[in-house]
Structure 1
Amino acid sequence: MIRILLAEDDSAMRAYLQRALEKAGYDVVAVGSGGEALTMLQTEIYDLLLSDIVMPEMDGIELAQKCADLSPSTKVMFITGFAAVSLRANREAPHAKMLSKPFHLKDLVLEVERMFEDAAVASL
């Protein structure tokens, strides 16, 4: 089963996304901050880090950079309503998919499925 670490500071959005991903068959651990996500990444392996970009304490880009160091095989997908503001030229974001809010839950699930289908095809 694919394991997803969801980092989203909005509690309602976090619960909504977690339920949708679990209903689609994924094992989801949901946390409310980049710091909490970093702690989880230091102790467990995840197939995907699904992170909001704009969060207090540690933003999603910094979290993804730390994730790349700790767990290079973990894929990264950002969910955000502020992509243009957050992805500044002076900050290098790890290779990641981007899903801009608002989005339909089916689009999120499809993007997650595509990430792992692409990986399976690449490994053939």
Structure 2
Amino acid sequence: MRVYLARALERSGYEVVAVATGTEALPHIASDRFDLLLTDIVMPEMDGIELAQHAASVAPDMRIMFITGFAAVTLKAGKAVPQAKVLSKPFHLRDLVLEVERMFGSESLTGLN
């Protein structure tokens, strides 16, 4: 799924750094500037909520979008990171791009997925 999401965003003109786990994302967040963190909530090693909380502490201006297929997890994410957008699975790639565009308007974007 990560490859499809990254490709859809790249085709829409966004720069994307795609990684497999939250742990793998940490050094990127520490060393680079990103406008958006796009993460699944349920992941091995470090879940997306933990990753988003870490990202918010390192880069408070970074916007956060969660994707999930679990309604209960959506509620947890909303409480843990209230400013985050949650996109529920299943969704069409076009929906993802539209949600990102809504978050940023016409701004330039580099994102971590």
Q: TM-score range by the shorter chain?
A: 0.7 to 0.9
TM-score in terms of structure 2 length? 0.86
SS of 1:31's partner is coil
92-101 or 61-70: bigger deviation: 92-101
The correspondence for 1:68, drawn from 33, 56, 64, is: 56
- What's the RMSD between the two structures over aligned residues? 1.9
Matched residue count: 106
State how 1:71-86 maps to structure 2 within 5 Å.
71-85=59-73
Identity rate, percent: 65
The answer for unaligned runs of 5 or more in structure 2 is 108-113
Q: Distance in 1 between matches of 2:26 and 2:51?
A: 7
- Cα distance in 2 for residues equivalent to 1:74 and 1:27: 15
Secondary structure of 2:34 counterpart: coil
**Structure 1 80/94 Cα, relative in aligned 2: closer, same or farther at 3 Å?**
same
- Which aligned segments of 4 or more residues in structure 1 are displaced greater than 3 angstroms? 85-89
Long gaps (5+) in structure 1: 1-12, 120-124
Per the alignment, in what secondary structure is the counterpart of residue 10 of structure 2?
Answer: helix
Contact 2:67 2:88 in 1 (8 A): yes
Structure ranking higher on relative contact order (CA contacts 8 Å, 6+ apart): 2
Q: Would you say 1:54 and 2:42 are equivalent positions?
A: yes
Which residues in structure 2 correspond to 1:8-27 (within 5 Å)? 13-27=1-15
Higher alpha-carbon Rg: 1
Aligned partner of 1:113 among 83, 91, 101: 101
8 A Cα contact 1:87 1:93, kept in partner:
no
Q: How does the TM-score come out when normalised to structure 1?
A: 0.79
- Structure-2 residue corresponding to 1:5: none
